Each structure stands twice: as C-alpha cells, then as structure tokens.
Amino acid sequence: MSPPAAAALPPAPPPTGDRATVDWGRTHYVSARHWQEHLVAQRLAGGIGDTLVFTEHEAVYTLGVRPGAARHLLWNKEEVARRGIEVVETNRGGDITYHGPGQVVGYPVVSLAARKDLHAYLRFLEQVLINALGCLGLAAGRRPGQTGIWLGRRKIAAIGVAVKRWVAFHGFALNVNNDLAPFAGIVPCGISDAAVTSLRQELGRECDLAEVKAVVAAEFWAEWRKFVDTTDVH
C-alpha cells in the first residue's frame, strides 16, 4: 500500500533566490505528488526558488487529464495487482504512462512568470533531455506532433506538466535501467504505433543513475538560463 498523503516531507530546498537540485530517492507516487504540491505552494509564496526534483517511483501507472486515458490501460485489475503495480489518477497533462525503479523522474517546480508560454516550456524540457542524452551517447530527438523524446520510433522519455498560477510542476520520466515489460500493459501516452526503449537497452549496459541525474541537472540549469532570458524572445 502507498504511504498516506500526509507522509513526512523530505528536506526543503534552499530559500528563495537559490536554484536548487534535490533528490528524493525512491518514493511512492502519492507521497511525491503531495510533496510537489507543498513545493508549489512554497514557490508561489516566494519561500523557495526554482527547484529541480529527482526521484524514482515504486511501480505505478499514472493517468493524466487527457480524456480517455483510462481506456489505454490494457491489463485487467487482477493482472496489474499480480505485478504489484499501482494505478493512480493525477493532475498532469497527457495520457497514461508507467513509472518504476530505475527510471529517472524529474519534477521541476519553477516559475514561468518571466515567460508565460507553456508550449515553449514543453519544448524547453525536450531540449534538456535531447542535450543530456547526447552527452550520454544517444542522438535523440523530437517526433512531429508528439511530446516526448524519441530515437526513431522508440520513445525513451515522456513529458507531462501542470501549471498553477504560472508555477509549473510534474515534468519528465527518462527510461534508464527500468524494466520495460510493464509498458506492455498500457498504450503508452496513448500512442499505439511506437515502441518504448531505455538507455540500458540502447547502450547495452547498466547506467549509473547518479551520473544520468548529474548530466540532466547540468543541462536543465544551462537551458533554464536561456529560457528565462526574455531578451531574445519575440
């Protein structure tokens, strides 16, 4: 069972003005969602600065707000329970996806007040992951008409966000060493004509999660400086 939503909060990021990267380690999705909401409230109140959170979730299918997302859960509840996978509704954009150990999940809790453009923010997150995967040895890219990161027709990262008074939360899930079998139980992100892949599958070896997080964090903050610099935005 998941811990209650009121589970103790992890250590707080630094006070406002400082950009922070924090790692929550392994979490249940319900607790992490509660903690995100707490950070959003702090960011809105000016109590913390922009924050990038990393975590790995216990096995869970999450349903986004897109209409019909529940229809893309293919396994019945008995099979889902047998495999030890939770099913949770959430308030992020997008369809259904899977999170599990070995996957790097990133939750930026950041203010978009300087650039109120959600479409541009999604493209920003995609660029962060494209850059990071390039540093890790993979030439990834976008797929026209689809949010996320791709290697040809193989999806390696999913993106889904929410915004409250121009503070963004939720974020991205990058497949690193996680078991890909649970993706067979869903139509991932509602896309039926694509496969799912991971860094481990593409590179043929186990990857160091700490290294992956460090690379993603470096690319995130480098791109963030460009994103919030509105002098070149027309």
Q: Which residues are catalytic?
A: 189
CA distances from 117 to 77, 111, 123, 156, 183 (A): 39, 11, 10, 25, 31
- Which amino acid belongs to residue 23? D
Identify whether the C-beta of residue 171 lies closer than 8 Å to the C-beta of residue 129.
no
Residue 202 pairs in a beta bridge with none
Structure tokens at 163: 């915004």
Determine the Cα angle at 55 with ends 53 and 56, to 5°.
Answer: 165
Query: Given CA atoms 46, 48, 52, 55 in this order, what sign does their dihedral have?
Result: negative
Tokens of 143: 């797929």
